[in-house]
Amino acid sequence: MFKKWFGKTAVEEVKDSAPEIMGLRIGGAFELDSLKLRLIEPDLIIAGAASTHLIQAVGEVKLDDVTTVLRYYTDDDGFIQVLLEGGMTENHITDVKLWYFYDTQSISTEKQWNTVINSSISVTTLALEGNNYSPVWENAAGELAAPVAMTEKTYAQDGSTSETDQFSMLYEREIKADFFEYVMLSGEEKIIDNRADRYLVKMTGFDLKPADIDIIG
């Protein structure tokens, strides 16, 4: 999905100010704990995850007045996602995950789009590669929530920005005590040349600690 919209061309100058956190920044680079990756990868869907990453774009989602999601898209077809509550400093970080794109399906008609939004994203159980995942987000009644709507502002390396409307649901499975694998389903709509470009995007991810990330550029 990321490659379709931004490509992999490196451009040095950034005209707009993309958010930074933990030393993560557009055009920067980081390394992940390679030993940790080798130990956990056999239990995960991902395979061959890189330990060194170049950040090629940054996404920002304002979920509400106090909650912000930052996404640092990398050259390894994934992104680090940082959740902040109540502010935009490292003290406000409540969650860090590494996500990889698993599958992207183009949606060509309004009917298909409505079907995806209404019945394909929020389901009681999600099956993927022989594993079952349970939905995380519930409504006020404790029932399965509708897809959560959000708008992501994305900063590209050439200084341009764009917006994508997203309708998402988070799923999880517990692999062992306090170790989870996640799946995110997201219906994504981006207006390009006055035309709606729509996709159903599937991602898999797992939790990181800030100490797992070593900034190298």
Q: Is the pLDDT of residue 2 over 80?
A: no
Sign of CA dihedral 129, 212, 207, 116: negative
Confidence band of 180 (pLDDT split at 50, 70, 90): very high
Q: For residue 93, give the amino acid letter.
A: I
Closest CA to 79 of 61, 99, 94: 99
Provide the pLDDT for residue 122. Answer: 98
- Specify the residue for token string 């298909």: 112
Provide the pLDDT for residue 194. Answer: 86
Which region among 11-20, 125-134, 159-168, 205-214 has the lowest average model confidence (pLDDT)? 11-20
Provide the pLDDT for residue 192. Answer: 86
How far apart are the C-alpha atoms of 48 and 42, rounded to whole Å? 10
Closest CA to 188 of 205, 172, 164: 164
Q: Is the pLDDT of residue 11 over 80?
A: no
Contacts of 143 (CB under 8 A, 6+ apart): none
Q: Where are the domains of the chain?
A: 2-215
With a pLDDT cut of 90, the percent of the chain lying above it is: 85
186 forms beta bridges with: 168, 201
Provide the pLDDT for residue 193. Answer: 87
Q: Is the pLDDT of residue 157 over 80?
A: yes
Provide the pLDDT for residue 1. Answer: 53
Which region among 7-16, 63-72, 182-191 has the lowest average model confidence (pLDDT)? 7-16
Q: Is the pLDDT of residue 10 over 80?
A: no
Provide the pLDDT for residue 16. Answer: 57
User: Averaged over 111-115, what is the pLDDT?
Assistant: 96
Provide the pLDDT for residue 198. Answer: 98
Beta strand 52-62 with 29-32 is antiparallel
Beta strand 161-176 with 131-135 is antiparallel
For residue 40, give the 3-state DSSP assignment.
helix
Provide the pLDDT for residue 114. Answer: 96
Closest CA to 78 of 48, 107, 105, 108: 48
Q: Is the pLDDT of residue 5 over 90?
A: no
Average pLDDT, the chain: 92
Q: For residue 211, give the amino acid letter.
A: A
Torsion of CA 209, 133, 3, 213, to 10 degrees: 10
How far apart are the C-alpha atoms of 17 and 103, rounded to whole Å? 30
- Specify the residue for token string 């005209």: 15
Q: Is the pLDDT of residue 212 over 60?
A: yes
139 dihedral zone (left: phi>0; alpha: psi -120 to 50; beta): beta
User: Averaged over 33-39, what is the pLDDT?
Assistant: 91
User: Averaged over 115-141, what is the pLDDT?
Assistant: 96
Q: Is the pLDDT of residue 7 over 60?
A: no
Question: Comparing 14 with 97, which gets the higher pLDDT?
Answer: 97
Query: Where in the chain does DSSP place strands (E)?
Result: 29-32, 52-62, 67-74, 78-85, 93-107, 126-128, 131-135, 148-156, 161-176, 179-192, 195-207, 213-215
